[in-house]
Amino acid sequence: MRITSTAVSLNVDDVPASSAFLARHFGFREEMAADGFASLTREDAGVNVVFLRRGLPTLPADQRDVPAAGLILAFVVDDLEGELRRLQDEGVAITMPLTVEEWGERAFQVRDPNGVVVQLVDWQG
């Protein structure tokens, strides 16, 4: 097997709201979009983020109404404190304050308008 790209696909109620949130606050851009669908990319992210509107008939019946839940969309960044300040300055609510884990992970979290958890992370060496 050869993997040529990677994407994470999340079912949400309001695709444009989640798409705009990632574009405005995290520098993603819409690569493709249609009614009920948006695929966002960043050259340095290594993954596309896809939002699908819950209830789309193109999804299998057992998936189409299940919202994105129980996952964390995590991005490792170079300047964690700088990103925290920037997001606070932009009025984004910090839903988990900056924490430091015993294994060296430092992280904080925000949520997009659909409740998708976005976590910014770095590692103490």
**Per-residue pLDDT tens for 19-41?**
999 999 999 999 999 999 999 99
pLDDT score recorded for residue 60: 87
Cα–Cα distance measured from residue 95 to residue 44, given in angstroms and rounded to the nearest whole number: 25
Which positions ≥6 away from 100 have C-beta within 8 Å?
Answer: 106, 124
Cα–Cα distance measured from residue 71 to residue 86, given in angstroms and rounded to the nearest whole number: 24
Structural domains in the chain plus CATH codes: 7-122 (3.10.180.10)
**Per-residue pLDDT tens for 48-99?**
999 999 988 888 888 888 887 778 999 999 999 999 999 999 999 999 999 9
What is the reported pTM?
0.89
Cα–Cα distance measured from residue 37 to residue 53, given in angstroms and rounded to the nearest whole number: 6
